[in-house]
Structure 1
Amino acid sequence: MVAITNTTSLTFLKEAIDTTLSEAEASLEAFAEDRGDAAVLDQCASAFHQLRGISQVLELSAATLMSEEMELATEALKRQHDRVLVQALGNAIVLLGRYFEYVQLKDRAMPEMLIGGINELRRAGGKSLIQESHFFSVDLSRARDPVPPAGDPSALASQGRRLRHMYQVGLLGLLRGQSRDAHLKLMARALQRVDALCGDCPLSRFWWVARAATESLATDGMVITPARKALLAQYDRQLKKLVYDGERALAQEAPLLLIKESLFLASLGSGATPAAAEVRRVFGVGGRITDADLQRELALMTGSRGSVIRSVAGALKDEINQIKDTLDLAAQGVADTDYGAVAGGLRRVASTLEMVGKEQEATALRERAGAIADWPADTEVDSVDFHALVDDLLAAENTVASLERSLAPSDDVRRDATNANISLYQLDDARMTVVGECRAGLALAKRSLASFMENQWDPMHITNLPGTFATICGGLMFLELERACRVIAACRRHIEEKLLNGDEPPTQPAMETLADALTGIDYYLESMEEQKPIGEGVLDVAEQAVAELGYPATENPNG
């Protein structure tokens, strides 16, 4: 975050800046109405040139670059009348005005906030985009510290394709907008494994900072912008070179631009992971500004919007819960029931459902409200009519649950209930409880395996795992997650036959491959807890891992 030392100068110039921007906007509108009048574009270009000079005096590098791009875009409009470019230029005028206001009010410049606007203008003009790290300064000559241990080229050759596939599964899910956290963790896991297998080599520094960037994106909940997606895609290209070129790729360092962009992302995180903390320490980045700061200030400068549907669903759920509480008290005979108030609540729910296109459900609730409005307070709760009221309320609750589900892709756990008399909320709660128990079992298994490795392969630390995995398989079968169940069953067989009853101690690569399988299933379940499905690709990775161990995930989990 850069402090502005000459805010007083900006205050004196602000009126002239606003006037210049207004004149440029009026000239652009005149050109849009009469595209044959090139004279108004000359006025536009002159205004932007003037703004560029003012920005240079104020030492606002982002505003200077944006003004320059606006001037160049105006010159391009003289050669070719492009509606998209006109619209982008209009947006840029508004954004630049807001940026000047922000700098004046906050007394600081965050040049990163104009990257998106600059790129929108360049994209409309058919030009290449600038990097997010354009205004970021760092010494790229520093070496990795600490130096990693020697790599394992043979393991890299045998596991490289699977690790790249693991990364691609995460990247594809991320590009599709599915469960960002789970997919990012999968990608970070793949890069962590690649970094360990590469060891000390010229390419090592790149995988180190790439790991730090990806882990920061995942751990700190950073926003995934188009520029960041492009960077993650560049990592896949480097993985491809590694897979196909082998040791020759290890001897070459990645482009410095990729390293700089990765360092910028690591600097925006919290440094919560070991790789991110090391990178921030060695390169002296971090603490300047976080991604949360950047997004918050962007929202302050440009405004933000929320989800109307989610708000409506939340309000409906609260209203229905109040009615349910009233009917519960009636069923217990605790207090007299005002059915006129219950009818009013049903009508309010019906009106809201009608607003979101649920006319049939709204009509049913209105009819029920009319039928119960005059019920006496001592109405028999065991009557057919009372049970019909409860059934209609349950149907309304399930409609709201379905409305919430429509905001995110469906998954294997939150499937439709086959019994309409079961509350979807209660059914989901039960399933989520099972998912949580399965994840707790996986966490226990990973801790046990870590202790097993740390204590020279002492089997005492993993004697409980067959039982733990049997429990996890039972939960996965209840959830009807058959592929995940088969992977866990394969892990159980590997542990029983190789780790507990094997003649030779396991190898480090084999333990890492087992961890890959367990991690894949854990990410799959985690995405269900977050209601953001990660997709079947992660199961492909887990199945590949157990197959690599010699225990393919068969159709029969107990086979």
Structure 2
Amino acid sequence: MVAITNTTSLTFLKDELDSTLSQAEAALEAFVDEPSRNAELQACSEAFRQVRGICQMLELPAAALMAEEMELVAGTILRSVAPERLIGTLGNSIVLLGRYLEYVQLKNVALPELLVGGINELRRAAGKSLIPESHFFRVDVTRERQPPAPAGSAPRAEIQARCRRLRHMYQVGLLGVLRGDSRTSLKLVARALGRIDRLCGNAPLGRLWWVARGAVEAMISDEMKLTPARKHLLSQFDRQIKRLVYEGERALDSDAPLLLIKDSVYIVSLCQHDQGLVGEIKRAFAVSARFSDAALQDELSLMSGAGGSVIRTVAVAMKEELSSIKNALDLAAQGAADTDYCELADTLARLAGTLIMIGQNRESTQIRSRAEQVRNWRAGAIDPEGMDFQGLVDDLLMVENAVATLERRFAPVDDINREVRNTRISLYQLDEARMTVVGECRAGMSLTKRSLTSFIDSQGDRMHLSNVPAVLTGVAGGLMFLELDRARAVLEGCRHFIEQQLLAEGSGAPVLEQMETLADAITSIDYYLESMEEHKPIGDAVLEVAEISLAELGFPVRQAAQPA
């Protein structure tokens, strides 16, 4: 049979498809109005079967599969104990499938990936297993690793014990991803996978860790959206690490699960660059980027519409208005004679209206009252040092703090963004000061990591570590200022290890495994600070990873926190 895939062919059949979907929607609505009309539900199923046949002829596999799932869901509604949920999902699917067909017609391209989410909604409602994100992706998953992996970095008998700590590191990162912090937590996940890959080396299961690392690196470099399917993939990696922990060499010699290989290579194929590990995997599996993840998400947004955070949008707009008001007041305080207080009053009134919309009634009333006062002001007749002018400044600070507090309700709790009860202090300015300290601490951590790398590369030249204890002492001071005592105690432990094991007279060449364990602790602190800098705190669990690393080095935190 000749494949009919061009836009012209779809155009000939588009009216038929639209009409059939409309009939299905009308039949479904009639059934909802009168549940005893089973014939309407049967007509709905027949319509979906017809749509499936047309989509198969047009070689639109995603649309055909979705129509099939819709037919199956329609057939189970009468037997369901909660038909309302199935009916709602079915109604949404009719709309989504219609939009997809319109998208294919207008764009002249069929991206089956755009319907994976809709198909899974139908399967979820029906209690069926979900299809993977790579369902429509074609690749030869039997290809070998290129270049071949070196031998494992540890004796096979030790891998089981070493993977136990690395699994804890991985789980901390995974928990952060599931909670919504993608970037920093993914870095922790990637580090754990990198260590496991080096441990497993050229073992049969090693191929999985190679492509898993590539998938996570692709997610990080392209800042990919962490969809439920991708979070599930990360969870599947954790199950494989668990096998290493509990089965040891038997798991190491087992073949890598082909479905996980396929899912991982699919993620890699969405990455925009071809360098490093990502490029290595693309060449080995002979895949190229048909489109990037960003392009895929844009197309999905075009087709189905995507919403943003209303609260954050409102907060940004209010901060801009507050900034313009403060600039006008600054000019007035400096003696500007052309200040338009009527315009300023209008802006304050708009601000009061917005505050009402977001539930800040007390602040709204105060600002509205102040707007009426400002409307009667005249340029050149207001004393910038007077009570009225300063009262307006105080009210603006009150609104600014109200907006900042509102934003925090919709963000994770941040250890360095502690509640401030002094209403005369701007929360934004205080946060900026804290962020400056966090930035300085991160600079110190970056310098420390570079020094450790140089120390290892030079086979133990202590000159590269000579300044590290002083740097870590400065970072510890910053952490003390931020009241991050647990992180400071871990950092003190790292400093003691460096002073007593790496810089002490008579200490030999660095042991690679010890240096990697120390790097785990240092990196965990850096990720902890990075997550705060990005206002997506990863939580104290990452500090536990660092504490376990220090305990493995023989410097438990409870001792390390004490002066040497």
- Residue 36 of structure 2 corresponds to which residue in structure 1? 36
Structure 1 residues 86 and 371: CA distance shift in structure 2, 3 A: closer
Structure 1: how far apart are the matches of 2:398 and 2:372?
A: 17
- Residue 387 of structure 1 corresponds to which residue in structure 2? 390
Give the CA deviation at 1:543. 1.3
Deviates more, 1:385-394 or 1:61-70: 385-394
Partner amino acid, structure 2, of 1:506: P
- Residue 222 of structure 1 corresponds to which residue in structure 2? 224
Q: Unmatched 5+ residue regions in structure 1?
A: none
Partner amino acid, structure 1, of 2:474: T
SS at match of 1:554: helix
Asked if residue 551 in structure 1 is aligned to residue 555 in structure 2, the reply is: yes
Cα contact 2:160–2:247 (8 A) shared by 1 = no
- Residue 17 of structure 1 corresponds to which residue in structure 2? 17
Match 1:310 to one of 302, 309, 312: 312
Cα contact 1:4–1:108 (8 A) shared by 2 = no
Asked if residue 149 in structure 1 is aligned to residue 150 in structure 2, the reply is: yes
TM-superposition CA deviations, 1:493-551 (whole Å, max 9, x none) = 11111111152222111111111111111111111111111111111111111221112
- Residue 362 of structure 1 corresponds to which residue in structure 2? 364
Structure 2: how far apart are the matches of 1:169 and 1:243?
A: 16
- Residue 537 of structure 2 corresponds to which residue in structure 1? 533
Structure 1 residues 102 and 370: CA distance shift in structure 2, 3 A: closer
Give the CA deviation at 1:120. 1.2
Give the CA deviation at 1:358. 0.9
- Residue 471 of structure 2 corresponds to which residue in structure 1? 468
Cα contact 2:456–2:510 (8 A) shared by 1 = no
Cα contact 1:48–1:68 (8 A) shared by 2 = yes
Deviates more, 1:325-334 or 1:183-192: 325-334
TM-superposition CA deviations, 1:50-95 (whole Å, max 9, x none) = 2122112111111121122222223323544722222222222111
Structure 2: how far apart are the matches of 1:500 and 1:455?
A: 14
Structure 2: how far apart are the matches of 1:337 and 1:48?
A: 66
- Residue 399 of structure 2 corresponds to which residue in structure 1? 396
TM-superposition CA deviations, 1:431-476 (whole Å, max 9, x none) = 1111111111111111111111111211111211111111111111
Cα contact 2:52–2:63 (8 A) shared by 1 = yes
Following superposition of structure 1 onto structure 2, how do residues 235-384 of structure 1 map, counting pairs within 5 Å?
Answer: 235-271=237-273, 274-335=276-337, 337-376=339-378, 377-384=380-387
- Residue 513 of structure 1 corresponds to which residue in structure 2? 517
SS at match of 2:281: helix
SS at match of 1:258: helix
- Residue 436 of structure 1 corresponds to which residue in structure 2? 439
Asked if residue 421 in structure 1 is aligned to residue 424 in structure 2, the reply is: yes
Structure 1: how far apart are the matches of 2:412 and 2:368?
A: 31
* RMSD between superposed Cα atoms in Å: 2.0
Cα contact 1:354–1:362 (8 A) shared by 2 = yes
Q: Unmatched 5+ residue regions in structure 2?
A: none
Give the CA deviation at 1:272. 6.2
SS at match of 1:108: coil
Deviates more, 1:157-166 or 1:436-445: 157-166
Following superposition of structure 1 onto structure 2, how do residues 31-110 of structure 1 map, counting pairs within 5 Å?
Answer: 31-80=31-80, 82-110=83-111
- Residue 493 of structure 1 corresponds to which residue in structure 2? 496
SS at match of 2:558: coil
Deviates more, 1:361-370 or 1:440-449: 361-370
Cα contact 1:337–1:378 (8 A) shared by 2 = no
Structure 1 residues 373 and 550: CA distance shift in structure 2, 3 A: same
Asked if residue 169 in structure 1 is aligned to residue 168 in structure 2, the reply is: no
TM-superposition CA deviations, 1:300-336 (whole Å, max 9, x none) = 1111222222222122112211221122223333545
Deviates more, 1:411-420 or 1:445-454: 411-420
Q: Percent identity?
A: 58
Deviates more, 1:63-72 or 1:290-299: 63-72
TM-score by length of 1: 0.95
Give the CA deviation at 1:338. 4.3
Structure 1: how far apart are the matches of 2:491 and 2:90?
A: 56
Structure 2: how far apart are the matches of 1:526 and 1:73?
A: 46
TM-superposition CA deviations, 1:322-363 (whole Å, max 9, x none) = 221122223333545444444443333222212211111122
Structure 2: how far apart are the matches of 1:454 and 1:30?
A: 74
Structure 1: how far apart are the matches of 2:87 and 2:399?
A: 48
Structure 1 residues 554 and 47: CA distance shift in structure 2, 3 A: same
Deviates more, 1:343-352 or 1:489-498: 343-352
Deviates more, 1:547-556 or 1:473-482: 547-556
Structure 1: how far apart are the matches of 2:4 and 2:502?
A: 62
Give the CA deviation at 1:22. 0.8
Structure 1: how far apart are the matches of 2:269 and 2:320?
A: 42
Give the CA deviation at 1:36. 2.3
Aligned residue pairs total: 556
Structure 2: how far apart are the matches of 1:77 and 1:156?
A: 51
Structure 2: how far apart are the matches of 1:418 and 1:4?
A: 68
Give the CA deviation at 1:273. 6.5
SS at match of 1:139: coil
Give the CA deviation at 1:19. 0.8
Deviates more, 1:424-433 or 1:402-411: 402-411
- Residue 233 of structure 1 corresponds to which residue in structure 2? 235
Partner amino acid, structure 2, of 1:473: A
Cα contact 2:61–2:112 (8 A) shared by 1 = yes
Cα contact 2:269–2:288 (8 A) shared by 1 = yes
Give the CA deviation at 1:366. 2.8
Structure 2: how far apart are the matches of 1:524 and 1:149?
A: 32
SS at match of 1:50: helix
Give the CA deviation at 1:20. 0.8
Structure 1: how far apart are the matches of 2:305 and 2:13?
A: 25
Cα contact 1:466–1:495 (8 A) shared by 2 = yes
